[in-house]
């Protein structure tokens, strides 16, 4: 059965999914790039950007699983662009170049309308202005019976958790402290939302935690 998942989402030990002061130079905020040390060396990550090689151990197993079975993604505006407010033009097409790693329809939450952007490799960005539930409905329809991934950022994941829409999460807890930034679980009661831990595996670069709703 198709699920709504958060997969391969990196957090610091103190619970931040991004550092402060996101910018074009620091898309994950100050220090945020350290969250993804577990991912960037994997075979899956190399393949996303047309490179050969990469690790094949536990980190790779979780990296590969984070993309498998995906029929559509949902992203917050900040995950797509550092720009704020109305779109100044249509030149910005994401952080990932001409061939983004999604290879599915991607629904971007925004308050500002924009025409869909078709990219290489099967990725098309659709911009949804009428809220998170409308985006989820569109993503499920586009996924064709496959899973919908909530790709982030933190605010977007929290909103879907708050309405009980997320079935499963894979979190990679990286051994770093950010001190401030975007806190994932502040004010959220995961057991009350029905979550329990179903798997946990530690590697040198992360502790992988899988949580599922009962």
pLDDT digits (tens, 9 = 90+) for 150-188: 998 999 999 999 999 999 999 999 999 999 988 999 999
pLDDT of residue 50: 80
Q: How is residue 132 written in tokens?
A: 């998170």
41, 97, 122, 142, 146 from 105: Cα distances, Å? 26, 16, 7, 7, 12
Query: Which is it for the CA torsion 92, 97, 99, 100, positive or negative?
Result: negative
Is residue 90 scored above 90 in pLDDT?
no
Q: How is residue 113 written in tokens?
A: 């309308």
Residue 52 is given by DSSP the state: -
pLDDT of residue 177: 95
pLDDT of residue 21: 80
In the chain, where the domains are located: 4-17+31-82+98-213
In angstroms, the CA 49 to CA 100 distance is 8
Q: How is residue 167 written in tokens?
A: 């079935």
What pTM value is reported for the model? 0.93
pLDDT of residue 23: 77
- For the chain, percent of residues with pLDDT exceeding 70: 100
Contact 201, 39 (CB under 8 A): no
Pick the CATH number of 4-17+31-82+98-213 from 3.40.430.10, 3.40.50.620, 3.40.50.150, 3.40.50.360: 3.40.430.10
């Amino acid at each position: 059965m198709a699920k709504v998942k958060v997969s391969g989402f990196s957090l610091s030990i103190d619970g931040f999914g991004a550092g402060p002061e996101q910018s074009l130079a620091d898309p994950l905020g100050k220090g945020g790039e350290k969250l993804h040390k577990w991912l960037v060396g994997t075979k899956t990550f190399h393949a996303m950007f047309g490179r050969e090689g990469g690790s094949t151990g536990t980190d790779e197993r979780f990296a590969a699983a984070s993309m498998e079975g995906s029929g559509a993604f949902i992203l917050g505006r900040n995950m797509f662009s550092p720009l704020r407010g109305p779109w100044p033009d249509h030149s910005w097409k994401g952080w990932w170049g001409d061939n983004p790693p999604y290879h599915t329809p991607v629904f971007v939450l925004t308050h500002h309308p924009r025409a869909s952007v078709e990219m290489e490799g099967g990725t098309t960005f659709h911009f949804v202005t009428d809220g998170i539930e409308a985006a989820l409905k569109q993503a499920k329809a586009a996924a064709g019976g496959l899973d919908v991934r909530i790709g982030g950022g933190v605010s977007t994941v929290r909103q879907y958790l708050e309405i009980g829409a997320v079935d499963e999460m894979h979190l990679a807890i990286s051994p770093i402290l950010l001190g401030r930034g975007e806190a994932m679980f502040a004010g959220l009661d995961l057991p009350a939302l029905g979550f329990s831990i179903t798997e946990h595996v530690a590697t040198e670069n992360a502790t992988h935690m899988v949580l599922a709703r009962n």
